Chain A
Amino acid sequence: MKPELRRILFSLAVLGWSAVLLYFHASGRITKYLAPDFRPIAFAGGLGLAVLGLFNLLTAWQSVDCGHDHGNDGSSHDHETSDVHPLVALLLMILPIGLSVAWTRDEYSVQALSRKGLYDSPSNLSESINAAALPPLTREEIEKNRSRTDDGFYQFNLMELFYATGERELQSVIDGMKVETEGRWIEEKTRNPNGTRKRLYRLFITCCAADSRAIPIILEFGGIPPEFPENGWVKVSGVMRFPLEEGVLQPLLLVERVLAAEPPYEESFLRK
């Protein structure tokens, strides 16, 4: 293959990656994929790839000398010949990313969420979640500092309620407390013989969506739960309990009220 054509193909591959990175950043969809620390890095990467691709595309026909000798070692030390045929390289660079852009819905299916801990008990916490230990809370601090609804529900994030299951001290503070929290609404597939339960979850991201873990609690309605779209956002109020079920402590909210809610800007809990 002519060097000029090879340079053009390589430039197009680089520009393809650049375009995807910059598009996801410009559209705001990057928030579903990366933790905040990584977003500016990804943006800079997209810009850098654009510069690299455009520079090489615009100079593809220029003949240059690298300024040093190339030995007789039989290797293709010409600074440009790739290990892979340029067309194969272009295909391998563009096809997976192109298909992914076409297929993505910016969220996981329930099947993948199950692998990411949606139905795990809090005792199966991964290292990354354990490492994100929350600051200690006392009842006095909650009563003094925590926001409270007009009808007396303290606002908690889901992580605190989930994490309290494995923290005896925090658990004793929250157990029996009227709380309000928000998350995504999904079917309860375990220990739900009467169909009176649902599950509420959010994702915990360390760096990117691939390393995310689902953080769930169980919602108990005592009767048939109301209808909400699967994976839709809801705000739930009720009394928090930590019953022992089949030998495992579970975070369970006895629901008094549930309302549809707007998705937050940051859907996931982040490490900071």
Chain B
Amino acid sequence: MSPDSQQDFALAFLSILFEGAPFILLGTLISGFIDIYLPAGAMDRFLPRNRNLAVLAAGLLGTVLPVCECAVVPVIRRLVKKGLPVSCALTYMLAAPIVNPITALSTWQAFQGQNAAMMTSSRMGLGFLIAAAVGLIVSRLPLAAVIKAKLLDSLEEPEKPHAHADCGHEDHHHDDGNCCGHDHSQEPGDDGRLVAAFRSAMKDFIDVGVYFSIGVTITALFNTGIAPGATWLDGLAGNPAAAPAALMVLAFVLSLCSTSDAFIAATLDKFTWGAKLAFLTFGPMMDVKLIFLYQTVLRKRFIVLLALGLFLAIGGITVFWQHLLFAAQ
């Protein structure tokens, strides 16, 4: 890399990182505290009994329980095991990273001067609609077609308290039949939970920060024209159909956190507004890292179908929405 390219890369990299890092921190702090302090059954209480209404309500849970896409997968895995309907869990999993106040705030901030209010509301609205649609479809599918056999088996096992010989103490019970190696008969002090919450937040920050760092590196290389293929990508930028497809592929590869991806999207100034909306909606629902995380809950065949469905649905809707909003101009 020439000295000029180094200087350009550095300026773009640092500016995007400075802009996004505080929002990642905010998101991971909240996620860390939810991880430790929120009881697993708390979400069930928010949901109505009607199956369809429950799916719709699950799509909005992210507004009160904001978690990014990295944090949401372990959460829903746990909730499914605790009896949350799979359709609701999937709806929450897809919607929560988008339909949450931190993502809304960062999107609104990042898109100042680029129809920020419209982008924020479109992103949240589209994220909710797509997640609810997936949830409603899943609610009509057999569970075996959606979730992993191992997880399905554990759902079918009756929950019963039991003692453990290998724990070294026989007088405490786990609700899922496994000893985790420590005694839960005594509640930990607040200090201990605070430390655990900060550790969880730091772990989330590192997980997200690593992907963010890689994403910002790639974006800075494209932004300043250093990356090979930057010109080719620019060529797709103005095409109303190819641009959303290209940015959804980019979102898939970059694997950014929903709390900070808007800062990347806002810098892709050669691309259409609709393409950026596709980037911001598809990315939090499906990317490289999520593929690995989803495999801990979902069947591979379902993940492939979900990815294709999301790609086509989000691509189609954003092309239509872009046309509707900007046709007059």
**Which A residues are closer than 8 A to B by beta carbons?**
7, 10-11, 13-14, 17, 20-21, 24, 30, 32-35, 37-38, 41-42, 44-45, 48-49, 52-53, 55-56, 59, 62, 64-75, 77, 79-84, 88-89, 92-93, 96-97, 99-112, 115, 126-128, 131-132, 206-211, 213, 271
Contact = CB atoms under 8 A, between A and B. Distances in A.
Contacts of A67: 36, 184, 187-188, 192-193, 196
A213 B225 CA distance: 14
Interface in B280-300: 289, 292, 296
Contact of B202 (A45, A52, A88): A52
A131 to B, nearest CB: 5
Contacts of B200: 66, 79-80
Nearest to B21: A45
B236 to A, nearest CB: 16
Interface string B2-38: 0111111111111111110111011001001001100
A128 B269 contact: yes
B170 interface: no
Majority SS at the chain B contact face: helix
13 contacts: A14-B209, A17-B21, A48-B22, A52-B205, A93-B210, A99-B10, A100-B17, A105-B11, A108-B8, A126-B269, A132-B113, A210-B219, A271-B112
Count chain A CB atoms within 10 A of each CB in B10, B14, B26, B220 and give the residue with the most.
Answer: B14
A233 B249 CA distance: 41
A249 B154 CA distance: 70
B22 A207 contact: no
A56 B269 contact: no
B81 A42 contact: no
A64 B131 CA distance: 37
Interface stretch (B87-95, B133-141, B174-182, B239-247): B174-182
A80 B199 contact: yes
B206 A82 contact: yes
A206 B154 contact: no
Interface of B: 3-19, 21-23, 25-26, 29, 32, 35-36, 39-40, 70, 74, 77-78, 81, 109-110, 112-115, 150-151, 154, 174-178, 180, 182, 184, 187-188, 191-193, 195-196, 198-203, 205-207, 209-210, 213-214, 216-217, 219-220, 223-225, 263, 266-267, 269, 273, 289, 292, 296
Contacts, number: 263
Given A48-B29, A79-B203, A96-B216, A106 B11 contact: yes
Nearest to A86: B206
A21 B267 CA distance: 20
A211 B203 contact: no
Contacts of A92: 210, 213-214
A69 B198 CA distance: 18
A192 B263 CA distance: 37
